[in-house]
Amino acid sequence: MRRPVQELFGDYQNNLYAAAFNVCKNAEDAKDVVQDTFIQYYSLKKDFDSEQHIRAWLFRVAINRAKNMNRTFWRRNKKSLEDYMETLVFETSESEELFETVMKLPEKYRIVIHLFYYEDYNVNEIADILKISQSNVKARLSRGRSLLKERLQEEWNDDE
């Protein structure tokens, strides 16, 4: 199965951007990652088994490219999370608080939480995308949730 890049771009651009931003924490780098991901898909000339296979492949490439982006010299010139937060608009203060807290999690928990809650992947699919075991995905989800709970409770207790 092979789909035109233009269709995939329309379908997955925003999702891949969100996943890449989750790793890079930089808008410009995330845009570059998305562009590079689609260029690699276009150049690959590979047939995929299904739509889910294409989607998983795109996410795996985007996440790996984002991780590589973090290791580059240019990474030192990134936009800070605080600067980026000023450009975002949230519906409620709670959603802004949750976003900030998730973005402060360690990368390995942040990626798994993003794929599970925002992209609706199940544990098995996340394991395939990240090339880790299902038990590792479950452990990261559990630890990520615990960290989120702790940090949010601390903030709520501080507000009282």
The predicted pLDDT at position 64 comes to: 95
Confidence of residue 153 (pLDDT cuts 50, 70, 90): confident
26 to each of 19, 22, 36, 75, 83, how far by Cα in Å? 11, 8, 15, 9, 10
Cα 126 from Cα 100, distance rounded (Å): 23
Which domains are present in the chain? 1-88 (1.10.1740.10), 90-160 (1.10.10.10)
Comparing CA positions, the residue from 114, 115, 83 lying closest to residue 101 is 114
Query: CB–CB of 101/155 below 8 Å?
Result: yes
The set of residues, in sequence order, having a beta carbon less than 8 Å from that of 12 and lying 6+ positions away, is 55, 58
* Predicted confidence (pLDDT) per residue in 37-77, tens digit: 999 999 988 888 999 999 999 999 999 999 998 887 656 55
* Predicted confidence (pLDDT) per residue in 103-147, tens digit: 889 999 999 998 998 789 999 999 999 999 999 999 999 999 999
Cα 80 from Cα 87, distance rounded (Å): 12
